[in-house]
Chains A and B, each alone.
Chain A
Amino acid sequence: MPTRKLPEKSQIVIIGGGIIGVTLAHELAKRGEEVTVIEKRFIGSGSTFRCGTGIRQQFNDEANVQVMKRSVELWKKYSKEYGFSFKQTGYLFLLYDEGEVEEFKRNIAIQNRFGVPTRLITPEEAKEIVPLLDISEVIAASWNPTDGKASPFHSTAAFALNAEKFGAKLVEYTEVKDFIIEKGEIKGLKTSRGVIKTGIVVNATNAWAKLINAMAGIKTSIPIEPYKHQAVITQPIKRDAIKPMVISFKYGHAYLTQTSHGGVVGGVGYEIGPTYDLTPTYEFMRGVSYYFTKIIPALRELLILRTWAGYYAKTLDSNPAIGKIEELSDYYIAAGFSGHGFMMAPAVAEMVADLITKGRTDLPVDWYDPYRFERGELRGQALQMG
């Protein structure tokens, strides 16, 4: 992967080399724009590196459903073109009471309206999909076979490689230290490896977004806070024992699936923060074990190999802030993905590239309006796992 000298200038600079920054650079470069990504560690090293693999269209509002429908189209297209694995093994939400079923019926109606083929299925049908499930308390499940999973690391690497082929520059181990601003206009960025001249900057730093906003002197309140979320992986078992992502809100807001390597991976909704600390906790290991073994009893006899932590960069309504910040010329933000940024990345790249190159986009970007916090117009809580 690339470690390159900082160019003297670049029309567009993206701060942050995670999946969001990299897919955006890829999209812009493909459109012929001159773009540079500045990453303080290595490409994919932040939350992308620690994320849980899931890609779903089962959201509870029109905007997210549309955006994710587009995103899945792009995941399909690029995984094929670039040869990384994206498997449409589905998302299975286990439901345990009538209240949950009613809520999911509403969600499914919205999803169906935009062509996402989610169905309410019986516990027996759910068990056919994942034979290891304990369905004794399950009364129904929400199932969309077109949702899926991909390796965050390999997909990010593939987008990075191809972004470079289109001429994007990816500069690793370089940290942005300050903005150079004259009369409300961005002139460049000061970095740990010198100055880069630019007029257009995108803040794609997610958990660190508020630090970059502060550097840019942004007065608009865009509350994005880092929260510690944790994940676990078990010993590898035979492939395809658990194909889809299995979700259970009843049991700890748990999500779990099997990686391509065979380990069972996932997490629960145990949140600590705001904090930049990433030390895995004992409480998580206990909680995740309890909830996972309730959902799939066979996990009882599997060995836990490792736990780790990463950030959810959370906003007040669990939706990201995506858009142009008017108080500084040509400053954009795409951050605060609240635990589901990986899956959104290809569509977000398209939206932000549209905004930069055309000033508008056909995707419902207004839902993610960065000014909504200040206006007090929070959206309905986006469905968040883990």
Chain B
Amino acid sequence: MRKLDLTEKDPSGRITIYFEGQPLKAYEGEKITVALLANGIYWLTTSTEGRKRGAFTFGPVPMVVNGVRNVNARKTAVRNGMRLERQGYGDFQEAVKVDEGKPVLRQVVDVAIIGAGPAGIGAALEIQEHLTVALIEERGWLGGDMWLKGLPQEGFEGEPKGVIKGLTGKFNESIRVFRKTIALGVFDEGEYFLVPVVRENQLIEIMAKRIVLATGSVDNILLFENNEFPGVFRRDFALEVMNVWGVAPGRKVAVVGSRPEDVTPELERWGIDYVVVPNPKRVEGDEKVERLIDMNGNVYEVDAVIVSDGRRPDINPITQAGGKLRFKRGYYTPVLDSKHRIRDGIYVAGSAVSIKPHYANYLEGRLVGAYILQELGYEANPCIYKERLKEYEPEAVPIHRIPFEEFNLEDIQICGCDVSLKKVDDVVKQGITDLQIIKRLTHLAMGFCQGRFCLFNGAVVVSQRTGTDMAKIDLPVARPPLKNVRMKVTAARG
């Protein structure tokens, strides 16, 4: 077993990779970032301003793979003999292979569902008897956030992976599943919606009569000093390495944020030693987290920090598709009509709508599926789902007061692209409170994550510094592509 392996891996898949020249054990199918973590390697890249970064919180992870620069280490699987090196954010591949690329494919379906978590699965199951479906999922698995969990989830019977397998096992041939596929956006072409998607550098144009945004929520980024240092894990990444890959975030970890209970039972299940620290101030270390210091000056010797601070709907797909937002229960949520639509033809379901248990998101997917069936002239009974959904009151997510005066603001990263809390706060203190202007002046929300992990905190800074109600803050809308895409993919002809 490697340093941080939690489970014995299949020895037949054992391979050797090299990191900075040093041979390491890895297993076929593993992602680069996971294989390196299992070997105890956290620091993978360096930001433009020289900050060390890992793979498990915000910011990109470009690496040199077999001499090729700027390869996304989060999305690339290890191969035997692979040579990996660190690089800075700005390094890029000058000599590239020029080919015509893969020809563009086209698919026509009745409904394109973006996101295959419980909501997307629910919608697909509801409509599969009558309609054809493209189910588009960025990750390598179906089940979304629920797949990351090891413990039974409210409303479902049994272990989460088993439940998901049971549900997806009912898919019939009218559901076309696209795994490891990103959607670039939703474009209204009048007669139909166009959803261009990318799978392994292949551009596929999906044409659909109706769209379901089952695009989920994103983890909140907690503000503390060096909050993006190697060894800091977002909750979803921590659960992924443990429950999908059988690798521990560290041998002793600290859990911070307002929702430690979303992580601690999982740590207990794996027997990982942890401490809950309610008020983190700073993490420190040489190449990775070695200690966490709290607001009271207590020092915790740990080798990883997991941030579990709740989730908020990912608003980017909503606004790109033309939806409006309102602020409710501590987050921005899509404005829906009585049939869960942001506009004609585009439905939203799951934690993209509100934060609630997986089962409620699943019901909401079924509900939206039933509305679509009805709209297209098939018999359906949305009322059943609507009634059952009423039993789940959406959760409120607390907004933290940022204790500006107690922090060294320069060391807190609000955005993965070298935007410190100080940079943003300084601009707001000058009296600039329009997020559009703050964006231009600080580069907040202009990087790789397109604001997913930083825009909300930007709004919090404005709200707290000026006393403006969060509901009155105008959020910049997302522009395509919804996820980063290599230019060669969209350059393909045909």
Q: Which residues of A contact B (CB under 8 A)?
A: 1, 3, 42, 45, 49, 131-132, 153, 233-239, 241, 261-262, 279-282, 285-286, 289-290, 292-293, 297-308
The residue that B491 contacts in the complex, of A1, A289, A305, with Cβ under 8 A, is A289
With an 8 A cutoff between CB atoms, is B96 at the interface? yes
With an 8 A cutoff between CB atoms, is B345 at the interface? no
CB pair A306 B485 closer than 8 Å: no
CB pair A303 B48 closer than 8 Å: no
Between A and B, 5 residue pairs with Cβ closer than 8 Å are: A42-B434, A239-B90, A289-B488, A301-B96, A303-B486
- What 1/0 mask marks residues of chain B from 436 to 461 whose CB sits below 8 Å from any chain A CB? 11001101001110100000000000
Asked whether A262 and B488 contact (CB < 8 A) given A49-B440, A238-B91, A308-B479, the answer is: no
Q: Which of A234, A305, A308 has the most CB of B within 10 A?
A: A305
Distance between Cα atoms of A238 and B92 in the complex (Å): 8
Given the complex, which residues of B lie within 8 Å of A286, measured CB to CB?
Answer: 490-491
The residue that A153 contacts in the complex, of B92, B196, B431, B440, with Cβ under 8 A, is B440
Q: Which of B459-494 contact A (CB under 8 A)?
A: 479-481, 484-491, 493
Q: Which residues of B contact A (CB under 8 A)?
A: 48, 60, 70, 89-96, 98, 184-185, 187, 194, 196, 322, 417, 431-432, 434, 436-437, 440-441, 443, 446-448, 450, 479-481, 484-491, 493
CB pair A1 B92 closer than 8 Å: no
Q: A300-B488, A301-B92 provided; 13 other pairs, C-beta below 8 A?
A: A49-B440, A131-B94, A282-B196, A286-B490, A289-B489, A293-B491, A300-B487, A301-B96, A303-B486, A304-B485, A304-B487, A305-B447, A308-B479
CB pair A305 B450 closer than 8 Å: yes
CB pair B490 A301 closer than 8 Å: no
Q: Which of B431, B447, B450 has the most CB of A within 10 A?
A: B447
Q: Which of B92, B196, B484, B487 has the most CB of A within 10 A?
A: B487
CB pair A306 B490 closer than 8 Å: no
The residue that A301 contacts in the complex, of B70, B196, B440, B441, with Cβ under 8 A, is B70
Q: How far is the CB of A269 from chain B (nearest CB, A)?
A: 17
CB pair B93 A298 closer than 8 Å: yes
CB pair B436 A282 closer than 8 Å: no
The residue that B446 contacts in the complex, of A238, A290, A305, with Cβ under 8 A, is A305
CB pair B448 A303 closer than 8 Å: yes
CB pair B96 A238 closer than 8 Å: no
Listed from nearest, the 8 A-B pairs whose CB atoms lie closest are A300-B488, A289-B491, A289-B490, A303-B484, A238-B90, A237-B92, A290-B491, A153-B440
Distance between Cα atoms of A307 and B479 in the complex (Å): 6
Distance between Cα atoms of A290 and B443 in the complex (Å): 27
CB pair A302 B479 closer than 8 Å: no
Q: Which of B94, B196, B446, B485 has the most CB of A within 10 A?
A: B94
Asked whether A305 and B484 contact (CB < 8 A) given A236-B48, A261-B443, the answer is: yes
Q: Which of B92, B185, B440, B479 has the most CB of A within 10 A?
A: B92
Given the complex, which residues of A lie within 8 Å of B92, measured CB to CB?
Answer: 237-238, 241, 298, 301-302
Nearest A-chain residue to B493, judged by Cβ: A290
CB pair A285 B490 closer than 8 Å: yes
Asked whether A282 and B184 contact (CB < 8 A) given A236-B90, A307-B481, the answer is: yes
CB pair B481 A285 closer than 8 Å: yes
Nearest B-chain residue to A153, judged by Cβ: B440
Distance between Cα atoms of A237 and B60 in the complex (Å): 13
Given the complex, which residues of B lie within 8 Å of A281, measured CB to CB?
Answer: 187
Nearest B-chain residue to A43, judged by Cβ: B437
Distance between Cα atoms of A300 and B479 in the complex (Å): 20
CB pair A237 B484 closer than 8 Å: no
CB pair A262 B48 closer than 8 Å: yes
Given the complex, which residues of A lie within 8 Å of B96, measured CB to CB?
Answer: 297-298, 300-301
Q: How far is the CB of B33 from chain A (nearest CB, A)?
A: 17
Distance between Cα atoms of A186 and B358 in the complex (Å): 64
The residue that B479 contacts in the complex, of A45, A261, A298, A306, with Cβ under 8 A, is A306
Nearest A-chain residue to B447, judged by Cβ: A305
Given the complex, which residues of A lie within 8 Å of B187, measured CB to CB?
Answer: 281-282
CB pair B185 A282 closer than 8 Å: yes
> Across the A-B interface, how many residue pairs have beta carbons closer than 8 Å?
113
CB pair A280 B448 closer than 8 Å: no
Q: How far is the CB of B461 from chain A (nearest CB, A)?
A: 17
Asked whether A42 and B437 contact (CB < 8 A) given A238-B90, A262-B90, the answer is: yes
Nearest B-chain residue to A299, judged by Cβ: B487
CB pair B450 A306 closer than 8 Å: yes
Q: How far is the CB of B449 from chain A (nearest CB, A)?
A: 9
Distance between Cα atoms of A289 and B450 in the complex (Å): 19
Distance between Cα atoms of A49 and B439 in the complex (Å): 11
Q: How far is the CB of B315 from chain A (nearest CB, A)?
A: 15
Given the complex, which residues of B lie within 8 Å of A42, measured CB to CB?
Answer: 434, 436-437
Given the complex, which residues of A lie within 8 Å of B436, measured CB to CB?
Answer: 42, 45, 49
Distance between Cα atoms of A308 and B445 in the complex (Å): 14
The residue that A235 contacts in the complex, of B431, B434, B440, B448, with Cβ under 8 A, is B448
The residue that B60 contacts in the complex, of A235, A300, A307, with Cβ under 8 A, is A235
Q: How far is the CB of B285 from chain A (nearest CB, A)?
A: 26
Distance between Cα atoms of A234 and B479 in the complex (Å): 13
Given the complex, which residues of A lie within 8 Å of B434, measured CB to CB?
Answer: 42
Given the complex, which residues of B lie within 8 Å of A238, measured CB to CB?
Answer: 90-92
The residue that A280 contacts in the complex, of B95, B417, B443, B480, with Cβ under 8 A, is B480
Given the complex, which residues of A lie within 8 Å of B488, measured CB to CB?
Answer: 289, 293, 300-301
Q: How far is the CB of B131 from chain A (nearest CB, A)?
A: 24
Given the complex, which residues of B lie within 8 Å of A237, measured CB to CB?
Answer: 90-92
Q: How far is the CB of A42 from chain B (nearest CB, A)?
A: 6
Nearest B-chain residue to A284, judged by Cβ: B480
Distance between Cα atoms of A153 and B446 in the complex (Å): 15
Given the complex, which residues of A lie within 8 Å of B491, measured CB to CB?
Answer: 286, 289-290, 292-293, 300
Given the complex, which residues of A lie within 8 Å of B94, measured CB to CB?
Answer: 131-132, 298
CB pair A282 B487 closer than 8 Å: no
Nearest B-chain residue to A291, judged by Cβ: B491
CB pair A234 B487 closer than 8 Å: yes
Q: How far is the CB of A170 from chain B (nearest CB, A)?
A: 13
Given the complex, which residues of B lie within 8 Å of A304, measured CB to CB?
Answer: 481, 484-487, 490
Nearest B-chain residue to A238, judged by Cβ: B90
Distance between Cα atoms of A132 and B92 in the complex (Å): 12
Q: How far is the CB of A281 from chain B (nearest CB, A)?
A: 7
Given the complex, which residues of B lie within 8 Å of A285, measured CB to CB?
Answer: 184, 480-481, 490
Given the complex, which residues of A lie within 8 Å of B484, measured CB to CB?
Answer: 235, 303-305
Given the complex, which residues of B lie within 8 Å of A233, measured CB to CB?
Answer: 446
CB pair A1 B48 closer than 8 Å: no
CB pair A289 B487 closer than 8 Å: yes
Distance between Cα atoms of A213 and B440 in the complex (Å): 31
CB pair B486 A1 closer than 8 Å: no
Distance between Cα atoms of A282 and B70 in the complex (Å): 25
Nearest A-chain residue to B449, judged by Cβ: A305
Q: How far is the CB of B207 from chain A (nearest CB, A)?
A: 12
Q: How far is the CB of A288 from chain B (nearest CB, A)?
A: 8
Q: How far is the CB of B346 from chain A (nearest CB, A)?
A: 14
Distance between Cα atoms of A47 and B90 in the complex (Å): 29
Given the complex, which residues of B lie within 8 Å of A241, measured CB to CB?
Answer: 92
Given the complex, which residues of B lie within 8 Å of A301, measured CB to CB?
Answer: 70, 92-93, 96, 486-488
The residue that A300 contacts in the complex, of B98, B480, B481, with Cβ under 8 A, is B98
Distance between Cα atoms of A3 and B433 in the complex (Å): 11
CB pair A1 B432 closer than 8 Å: yes
Given the complex, which residues of A lie within 8 Å of B185, measured CB to CB?
Answer: 282
Distance between Cα atoms of A292 and B488 in the complex (Å): 10
Given the complex, which residues of B lie within 8 Å of A1, measured CB to CB?
Answer: 431-432, 437
Q: Which of B432, B441, B491 has the most CB of A within 10 A?
A: B491
Given the complex, which residues of A lie within 8 Å of B417, measured CB to CB?
Answer: 236
Q: How far is the CB of A267 from chain B (nearest CB, A)?
A: 14
Q: How far is the CB of B442 from chain A (nearest CB, A)?
A: 11
The residue that A293 contacts in the complex, of B450, B480, B487, with Cβ under 8 A, is B487
